[in-house]
Structure 1
Amino acid sequence: MSNTATSLRTAATVERGKDRSTWILPVIATALVVGTLVYIRTATLDSIEARALTTGELLRQLSEHVSLVVVSTVVVIAIGVPAGILLSRPWARYLRPPTLALANAGQAIPSIGLLVLLALVYGVGFRMAVVALVVYALLPILRNTIVGLQQVAPFVIDAARGMGMSARRILFTVELPLAVPVMLAGIRVSLILNVGVATLATYTNAGGLGGLIERGIVLNRMPILLAGCLLTIALALIVDWLAGIVERRLRPKGI
């Protein structure tokens, strides 16, 4: 009984530690945002810096950045998860290697190079930037979906089949729930990738916080560059924190 009680207390302590640690990211992100705003309000800015760092301009570029990340992530999930499910089926074993190789190639290409290539083919703008982000972020979701489904123990599937379940029912009631943790990890990685790569979308006239960074570099204005970098970091931390919360909530109980 004493060993059981000790184990329960240890588990509870670990869970409390995890709960506390989850608040580190939003605290850091909030400190970065507040520090950036205080710096902007107290620093001596010239006319160019003052126009670039108004509240309205910051909110506009932040909303553009969030739109790029949200839309591209939704699209890549809609493509990557079904494709991963299909490629995990036994009949698709010959299609799996070339498809993963193609997805690897999409991520191996430098992100700025991919954006420029697509801009030359499809033109510039929001849609083209979304396409580039989807290509760049597809691999983690595709690969983790396949790996998550393939790691389901064969005896579990055999037991479900022995209970008279159809292949479709086994997929949705047995395989996918067990693969959810690995799949969510891939989605989380893709989401963070999109936040970072979306800063380069400004070079294709798609907007985003990268506009501040690019303007700060071109005009040699350190306040603009610093604001763009700090806000991007804060956004990445917040997105990672929210993704972690969703991942824990959607994880099947007992896993």
Structure 2
Amino acid sequence: MWADYLEFWRDRYPDLLTAAREHLTISAVAILLGVLVAVPLGIYLSGNRKKWVHSVIFTIANLFQTIPSLALLALLIPLLGIGVKPAIFALFLYSLLPILRNTYAGFQSVDPSILESARGMGYSRTQQLLQIQLPLAFPYIMSGIRLTTVYVISWTTLAALIGAGGLGQLIVSGIGVNRTELIVSAAACAIVLALLADRLLGALEKHLSKRARTSKSEASLI
């Protein structure tokens, strides 16, 4: 059995490498788009006092999470066709809620007395945002990005069902030709990618948390 797996790895290594690269590309683009939209939106909501705006935006973000993956992909085919575009857009929609929620929570966690003291010392709104709020909220934001990344890498396997490629394509092919080695190898690659991404982002989150604690100490002296 193990000899079969080793032989398979030698023969299909280039295919696995190509599929893993496609998988990472789709995941990374979707997460990047999610960060570019959800982080500024979370910052905006943290400073907005209109409760109905919060309710509408969080309801829409929650709604995307409730749509089954296959159903969302099917709904996007008439709009974006098949391939990478609808896959990235679907994963982008799924990435919004956790990043948005954590960004909002991070900014809400900042002690208002610190901001009041900063305003008293002449800090502008932009200075407060960049020098106080953002460093303190960064661990929350990174935690949301980290969670989202693991989920998105896992969900990207479904992109193969609409012709987007990635490791999911090898899994589907393995099911079609009844090759257990192909299914297990592709699934293992997806798991390893998710674990590596989680580990790397965890190290980055730890580093940024240390900087945030330093910023908090400095801010408390204002």
Q: For residue 217 of structure 1, what is the aligned residue in structure 2? A: 175
Cα offset for 1:68? 0.7
CA-to-aligned-CA distance 1:154-185 (integer Å, 9 cap, x gap): 11111111111122211111111111111110
The residue type equivalent to 2:58 in the other structure is L
The 8 Å contact of residues 135 and 212 in structure 2, kept in 1 or not, is answered as: no
Q: Distance in 2 between matches of 1:182 and 1:188?
A: 10
Q: Distance in 2 between matches of 1:187 and 1:92?
A: 26
Instruction: State the identity %.
Output: 36
The 8 Å contact of residues 138 and 212 in structure 2, kept in 1 or not, is answered as: no
The residue type equivalent to 2:115 in the other structure is I
Q: Distance in 2 between matches of 1:247 and 1:147?
A: 16
Q: Distance in 2 between matches of 1:240 and 1:246?
A: 10
Q: Distance in 2 between matches of 1:223 and 1:90?
A: 53
The 8 Å contact of residues 111 and 136 in structure 1, kept in 2 or not, is answered as: no
Q: Distance in 1 between matches of 2:19 and 2:48?
A: 46
Q: For residue 162 of structure 1, what is the aligned residue in structure 2? A: 120
The yes-or-no answer on 1:245 pairing with 2:203 is: yes
Q: For residue 126 of structure 1, what is the aligned residue in structure 2? A: 84
Q: For residue 86 of structure 1, what is the aligned residue in structure 2? A: 44
Q: Which runs of 5+ in 1 are unaligned?
A: 1-35, 44-48
Cα offset for 1:107? 1.1
Cα offset for 1:91? 4.1
The 8 Å contact of residues 107 and 139 in structure 1, kept in 2 or not, is answered as: yes
Q: Distance in 2 between matches of 1:97 and 1:79?
A: 17
The residue type equivalent to 1:102 in the other structure is I
Change (3 A) 1:157 1:253: closer
Q: Which moved more, 1:136-145 or 1:84-93?
A: 84-93
The residue type equivalent to 2:99 in the other structure is I
Q: Distance in 1 between matches of 2:145 and 2:91?
A: 13
Task: Flag the structure with larger Rg.
Answer: 1
Cα offset for 1:90? 2.8
The 8 Å contact of residues 139 and 212 in structure 2, kept in 1 or not, is answered as: no
Aligned runs of 1:181-196 on 2, under 5 Å?
181-196=139-154
Please provide the CA RMSD for this pair.
2.0
CA-to-aligned-CA distance 1:79-123 (integer Å, 9 cap, x gap): 111111111113454311110111011112112221121123221
Q: For residue 203 of structure 1, what is the aligned residue in structure 2? A: 161
Cα offset for 1:221? 1.7
SS in 2 for 1:207: coil
TM-score (structure 2 length as normaliser): 0.89
The 8 Å contact of residues 86 and 92 in structure 1, kept in 2 or not, is answered as: no
The yes-or-no answer on 1:71 pairing with 2:29 is: yes
Q: For residue 40 of structure 1, what is the aligned residue in structure 2? A: 5
The 8 Å contact of residues 136 and 212 in structure 2, kept in 1 or not, is answered as: no
The 8 Å contact of residues 65 and 198 in structure 1, kept in 2 or not, is answered as: yes
The yes-or-no answer on 1:254 pairing with 2:213 is: yes
Q: For residue 27 of structure 1, what is the aligned residue in structure 2? A: none
TM-score (structure 1 length as normaliser): 0.78
Aligned pairs, how many? 212
Q: For residue 15 of structure 1, what is the aligned residue in structure 2? A: none
Change (3 A) 1:170 1:202: same
SS in 2 for 1:238: helix
The 8 Å contact of residues 198 and 210 in structure 1, kept in 2 or not, is answered as: yes
The 8 Å contact of residues 73 and 194 in structure 1, kept in 2 or not, is answered as: yes
CA-to-aligned-CA distance 1:41-81 (integer Å, 9 cap, x gap): 246xxxxx99xx52221111111001111111111111111
Which of 17, 40, 60 matches 1:102? 60
The 8 Å contact of residues 136 and 213 in structure 2, kept in 1 or not, is answered as: no
SS in 1 for 2:29: helix
The residue type equivalent to 2:112 in the other structure is P
Which of 188, 193, 205 matches 1:235? 193
